[in-house]
């Protein structure tokens, strides 16, 4: 029977019986996707104020937040990250598209 929790190590990987923090079985990778970054303009639920949603970026954690900060700086607006999505205030799709394409991403304008 495999252990799943230990009071001194926390969560334990069922495959290698090592602590999850030191588990080497399946290293966390970028989120799965088709490799296309999608830029979508959205106003629904935001009192008619537009935001640009950026999805499909193969980054997580601090790297995603650093990219969000760079995009907010280049556009001169505010924004946030929610999960694996970046929100930028205003309709900044064209500006963001040029910045992301310069970084080597394939970008599509999606939605309205």
Does the model's pTM come out above 0.85?
no
Q: Please, are residues 46 and 54 in contact by the beta-carbon 8 Å criterion? A: no
Q: Write down the pLDDT at residue 39.
A: 94
Q: Write down the pLDDT at residue 99.
A: 93
Determine the angle formed by the axes of helices 93-102 and 61-75, rounding to 10 degrees: 130
In the chain, CATH 3.30.780.10 sits at 31-110
Q: Write down the pLDDT at residue 97.
A: 94
Q: Please, are residues 90 and 71 in contact by the beta-carbon 8 Å criterion? A: no
Q: Write down the pLDDT at residue 8.
A: 64
Residue 94 phi/psi, 5-degree rounding, is -65, -45
Digit-coded pLDDT (tens) for 15-40: 777 776 777 665 555 555 678 899 99
The CATH number of domain 31-110, selected from 3.90.1150.10, 3.30.780.10, 3.30.930.10, 3.40.50.1820? 3.30.780.10
Digit-coded pLDDT (tens) for 77-102: 999 999 889 999 999 999 999 999 99
* Interatomic CA distance for residues 17 and 90, integer angstroms: 48
């Amino acid at each position: 029977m495999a252990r799943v929790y230990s009071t001194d190590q926390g969560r334990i990987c069922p495959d290698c019986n090592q602590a999850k923090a030191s588990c080497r079985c399946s290293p966390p990778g970028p989120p799965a996707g088709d490799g296309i970054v999608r830029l979508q303009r959205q106003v629904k639920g935001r009192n008619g104020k537009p935001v640009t949603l950026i999805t499909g970026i193969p980054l997580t954690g601090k790297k995603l937040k650093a990219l969000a900060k760079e995009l907010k700086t280049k556009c001169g607006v505010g924004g946030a990250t929610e999960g694996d999505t970046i929100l930028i205030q205003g309709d900044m799709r064209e500006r963001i598209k040029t910045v992301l394409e310069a970084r080597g991403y394939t970008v599509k304008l999606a939605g309205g």
